[in-house]
Amino acid sequence: MGETGNWTMANGLGNAAEDVKSESASTNASSGSKRKRAEPKFYAVRNGFTPGIYHSWADCFSQVKGFKGAICGYPKCANLFRLLITLPPTDKSFGSLTDAEAFINDKTAVKPPKSSLQKYYAVQCGRVPGVYTDWPTASKQITGWTKPKHKSFTSRAEAEAFVRAGNNSGQANPNVSIYPEDEIDIPTAAKKLKRSSDGGDSFGDEEFATPEPGTAPLPIDAEDGFDRGIIFNPETNMAEYKTEKQLLARKAHPTGALKGAMDIYTDGSALGNGRHGAIAGVGVYFGPNDPRNVSEALKGARQTNQRAELTAIQRALDIAAMHVSVNIYSDSHYGIQCVTEWFKSWRTNGWVTSAKKPVENKDLVEAIVLKIEEREAAGVQTKFTWLKGHANDPGNVAADNLAVRGAQEAKAKVKEAMAW
């Protein structure tokens, strides 16, 4: 029910003017004769506040003023011309009660134009799912959103049901810009909507669809005119938007070393080294109270000091960031030589020594060398520095303490297990 009437008319104000002109001519022609008594008029309101038949225009008008889509009949009377020229006219009047009742009983309803219907834009999958009553606000929720789901409805209940049925599984596409409201193409009544199986209208396919891949404005992070959110599909020979998994994928690539190298101290300790029942530990020292520090038992059946030293180097390289150069300090001349010099001839000879014997600890040496070469490919360096053991170097002492503690904890666990 609107504040201003939306009246149904056939011939409009022109008919009222013709009525006035005709009656004026009749009056002049018969000015010398006796005026005939006016016939009674009936005012019929079919669509109004209280549909019915009224005997005065004032009563009729009170039922249709401000009623949206009001339909009524008015008397063709020159005396009402001044009133009619300021009001929306119709062309129906009735000289009999029967005709007026027939007008009232005519159930042919005049529906308001489609463009005047209230629309509810339901966003099932978008930035903020919900029901919106205007297109600019609704369009912001789907623009740049991968696989948006949205419909328009003529009732709020249907729109809310559509929203509740979704799970909002999409995500924001960083490569699609959202424009200000004054740049949005607001849908008009002339645009056709597609009817969906659930009774709603799809308001995005024609009115504001996500741009085709490669046609949208380039995002802010574009480099050399390339949109990283688009990928070429060789199977279809078409450009398409990347999937969520493709957008989140990351590939390691060389970035160059940061300023300065990281110092890491490594050491190994074997309680009872060389004897049956020896137990070894591994120590890696990054710094005071550094969570990356390592103190653990040596894994495996072979519990030797040499394996503990190599394992400590391996653990240091596994923990160190790939894009940072490192300086590894160790008191194991054997460990450093294995991974910087001796491996070259061993690998060339098929991992056998000059005495034609298999290289000891080949598994550890080979793994460390591969890690060093991987770091070199990333543009960072791995340097080794030998330190004299137990010479009060703070880093070496700290690494040694970590290795000894790892071995002692492992020995305590063995004793506990044997006690059972």
Residue whose C-alpha is closest to residue 187's, from 146, 132, 123, 134: 134
Q: H or E element: which one contains 335?
A: helix 333-337
d(CA 170, CA 175): 15
- How many C-alpha atoms does 29 have within 13 Å on its Cβ side? 6
List the single range of 57-71, 202-216, 372-386 with lowest mean pLDDT. Answer: 202-216
State yes or no: pLDDT of 295 exceeds 60: yes
pLDDT of residue 384: 97
d(CA 38, CA 8): 27
State yes or no: pLDDT of 413 exceeds 60: yes
Comparison of pLDDT for 242 and 393, the residue scoring more: 393
Could you tell me the pLDDT band of residue 399, with boundaries at 50, 70 and 90?
very high
Residue whose C-alpha is closest to residue 47's, from 33, 63, 58: 63
Comparison of pLDDT for 141 and 16, the residue scoring more: 141
Cα–Cα distances (Å) from 39 to 31, 59, 384, in that order, read 19, 18, 120
pLDDT of residue 171: 58
Task: Supply 241's token pair.
Answer: 């938007």
With tokens 């990333």, the residue in question is: 378
Contact 149, 159 (CB under 8 A): no
State yes or no: pLDDT of 141 exceeds 90: no
pLDDT of residue 420: 72
Q: How many CB atoms are located within 10 Å of the residue 164 CB?
A: 10
d(CA 268, CA 343): 20
Could you tell me the pLDDT band of residue 5, with boundaries at 50, 70 and 90?
very low
Torsion sign, CA atoms 87, 91, 95, 100? negative
Average pLDDT taken over every residue of the chain: 74
pLDDT of residue 169: 60
Percent of the chain with pLDDT over 70: 61
Q: Which of 1-5, 109-113, 156-160, 292-296 has the highest mean pLDDT?
A: 292-296
Its CATH architecture, for the domain 13-26+39-105, is 3-Layer(aba) Sandwich (3.40)
Task: Supply 103's token pair.
Answer: 């007008």
Instruction: Give the tens place of pLDDT for each residue, 184-198.
Output: 343 443 344 444 545
Comparison of pLDDT for 181 and 388, the residue scoring more: 388
pLDDT of residue 67: 63
Instruction: Give the tens place of pLDDT for each residue, 90-120.
Output: 435 566 667 776 766 664 444 445 455 688 8
Rg of the Cα atoms in the chain: 45
CATH of domain 262-419: 3.30.420.10
pLDDT of residue 285: 98
Comparison of pLDDT for 136 and 191, the residue scoring more: 136
State yes or no: pLDDT of 17 exceeds 50: no
d(CA 314, CA 31): 124
Domain ranges of the chain: 13-26+39-105, 114-250, 262-419
Task: Supply 284's token pair.
Answer: 């890696």
List the single range of 93-97, 134-138, 266-270 with lowest mean pLDDT. Answer: 93-97
pLDDT of residue 58: 74
pLDDT of residue 29: 44
Burial 8-20 (b: 16+ CB within 10 A, else e): eeeeebebbeebb
Instruction: Give the tens place of pLDDT for each residue, 142-181.
Output: 877 777 888 888 888 888 888 888 765 655 554 444 444 3
pLDDT of residue 298: 96
pLDDT of residue 69: 55
